[in-house]
Homo-oligomer: A and B are copies of this chain.
Amino acid sequence: MGWRMPKTDVNVGAASVRQVAQRAGVSIATVSRALNTPEAVAEETRARVLAIATEMGYKPSTLGRNLVTGRSHLIGLIIPNIGSPLYGDMARGIEDVLQGTGLQVVLASTRDDSELELQATADLLNHRVDSGIVINSRAGDSSLLEAHSGWVYISPESPSFPMRVELDNYAGGRLAVQHLIDLGHRNIVHVAGPLREGKDRERGWRDELEDNSLSEGVRVLGDYTLESGVHATEEILRQGTPDAIFASGDLMAVGALRALRKAGLRVPKDVSLIGFDDAEFASLVQPTLTTVQQPSYLMGKKAAELVLNHLGGEEPSIVFLHPKIIERDSTAPRSQS
């Protein structure tokens, strides 16, 4: 807290109900009614009040209104990193749904730090947000759980909350492997990722192989960075050349691409490669990357809808989203060599 709010006035120009009431020759209640429940005010009075309000540039202060109604019309959004395209897309989905509802989004970034997340949550709570959306919570089912009832989670690590949006990562893993099997590949290895989402995808990989009576093959753990994708793939190649690689994230897939190229292997001719996420760059790299799409924008939309439902008094519910394959150029039928 290196900076303190000074006490100088800024919004001095803003007219208040009282001033409008005075100029219109009515009580403040009538002004309020003219704006909020126009049908409860005589045609003539309403017109006059509205005209004067407009003329004076009067806008009711949400501050005052919030205080008496007990609602801030603010929705908190807790997000690890607003700069990340995936999260950014979610935020966009949320924005788009909330647009025009009179609800505004208050942002808080956490950089995947559970300490900062708790702090951000406290800040938002102090602002009396009406509800909140937490993306990839790292604080987990913590002590704030109680305060959080009424909040929506897009966080694979927080399975205990009654309002959530969940991507079926397990199904995504199966989908990826199925796609590769359909192309004739048998030796399908995995560059895995950590956390619940990574484990779910890996489980999908494993189960799909098993269901097709294929042996499990190599699995190397990465951390969703490009470098980890490179290293994991180098490790894999040391144990032989697979038919196909399933990487748990697009960035790791690009890493795999580099390692394969460096080893003199061509994608998809020698090795097929599939990623996860459908990041922006997936369609820009060469070859373009086949991947399992994580519908970030839709996830954001669904989360915002859950918030709206909750505020509307509906029962909490959980939304499961199913990923789908985006076929591009990095996967191809197994070559007959």
Q: Which residue of B lies closest to A79 (CB)?
A: B95
* Contact between B77 and A83, CB atoms less than 8 A apart: no
> Which residues on B sit within 8 Å (CB–CB) of A92?
81-83, 109
> Which residues on B sit within 8 Å (CB–CB) of A74?
106, 127
Distance between A141 CB and nearest chain B CB, rounded to angstroms: 18
If A64-B67, A72-B63, A91-B107 touch, does A2 touch B100 (CB 8 Å cutoff)?
yes
The oligomer's copy count stands at 2
Question: Quick check: which of A185-193, A194-202, A307-315, A324-332 contacts chain B, the rest being far away?
Answer: A307-315
Question: Quick check: which of A6-14, A156-164, A232-240 contacts chain B, the rest being far away?
Answer: A6-14
Q: Is A1 an interface residue (CB 8 A)?
A: yes
Distance between A188 CB and nearest chain B CB, rounded to angstroms: 24
Q: Which residue of B lies closest to A91 (CB)?
A: B82
Q: Is A54 an interface residue (CB 8 A)?
A: no
Question: Quick check: which of A118-126, A172-180, A207-215 contacts chain B, the rest being far away?
Answer: A118-126
Q: Is A285 an interface residue (CB 8 A)?
A: yes
For the complex, what is the distance from the CA of A105 to the CA of B124, rounded to whole Å? 10
Q: Is A59 an interface residue (CB 8 A)?
A: yes
* Contact between A77 and B107, CB atoms less than 8 A apart: yes
Q: Which residue of B lies closest to A76 (CB)?
A: B104
Distance between A331 CB and nearest chain B CB, rounded to angstroms: 18
* Contact between B107 and A107, CB atoms less than 8 A apart: yes
* Contact between A126 and B83, CB atoms less than 8 A apart: no
For the complex, what is the distance from the CA of A70 to the CA of B62, rounded to whole Å? 12
> Which residues on B sit within 8 Å (CB–CB) of A335?
none
> Which residues on B sit within 8 Å (CB–CB) of A101?
1-3
> Which residues on B sit within 8 Å (CB–CB) of A126?
59-62
Q: Is A85 an interface residue (CB 8 A)?
A: yes
What 1/0 mask marks residues of chain A from 207 to 250 whose CB sits below 8 Å from any chain B CB? 00000000000000000001000000000000000000000000
For the complex, what is the distance from the CA of A133 to the CA of B108, rounded to whole Å? 16
* Contact between B100 and A104, CB atoms less than 8 A apart: no
> Which residues on B sit within 8 Å (CB–CB) of A150?
10
For the complex, what is the distance from the CA of A95 to the CA of B120, rounded to whole Å? 11
For the complex, what is the distance from the CA of A81 to the CA of B82, rounded to whole Å? 12
Distance between A299 CB and nearest chain B CB, rounded to angstroms: 12
> Which residues on B sit within 8 Å (CB–CB) of A60?
126
* Contact between B72 and A96, CB atoms less than 8 A apart: no
Which residues of A from 94 to 151 have beta carbons under 8 Å from B?
95-96, 99-102, 104-109, 116, 122-128, 130-131, 150
A-B contact pairs, 30 of them (CB 8 A): A2-B100, A3-B102, A3-B308, A3-B312, A7-B69, A11-B70, A11-B128, A14-B128, A61-B126, A62-B126, A62-B127, A63-B66, A63-B72, A67-B67, A73-B127, A74-B106, A74-B127, A82-B88, A82-B95, A83-B297, A84-B88, A92-B109, A95-B109, A96-B109, A104-B106, A105-B106, A105-B107, A106-B107, A254-B284, A281-B284
